[in-house]
Amino acid sequence: MPQTVADVMTRDPRSVDPDAPVWAAAEQMRDADAGAVIVTDREQVVGILTDRDIAVRVVADRRDPGTPVRQVCSNAAIKAVTPDTPVEQAVQTMRSAAVRRLPVVQDGRAVGIVSLGDLAIERDERSALADISAAAPNE
């Protein structure tokens, strides 16, 4: 069983500059088959942008897809963990912050991302969430 976030995280996550247009972040998500990108300013984590953020804060509000990422990303009190964080502590952080993804940072730089699905696969590979998370991407 994995002991630390480093054992379950996705390494080298996609990142985007806060001034990039939302459409560019969406392209990165599509190309990586990922539901989120980490928002970095001079390599420092300043936020996270999820596919849900795009749906709710851009599409549903009929905003221009050229809107800068900084205007729609989640950035208030970003919760993050380090590669050495115990998996159970990451689970507790997700629970208390009610988030589905956590940036993994080392020396302020994003080195990974850990999702609820990553943790589900490791904790109970037969769960419905683990099955969904491990499934091949939709085309």
Q: What pLDDT digit, counting tens, does each position of 21-45 carry?
A: 999 999 999 999 999 999 999 989 9
| pLDDT of the residue at 133 | 44
DSSP at 77: T
The CATH number of domain 5-134, selected from 3.10.580.10, 2.30.38.10, 3.30.465.10, 3.30.1130.10: 3.10.580.10
| pLDDT of the residue at 20 | 98
How far apart CA 50 and CA 100 sit, in angstroms, is 10
Question: Which backbone phi and psi does 3 adopt, to 5 degrees?
Answer: -105, -35
Point out the residues of the chain with pLDDT beneath 70. 1-2, 76, 121-139
**What residue segments make up the domains of the chain, in order of their start?**
5-134
Q: Give Cβ neighbours of residue 127 (< 8 Å, ≥ 6 apart).
A: 120
| pLDDT of the residue at 1 | 58
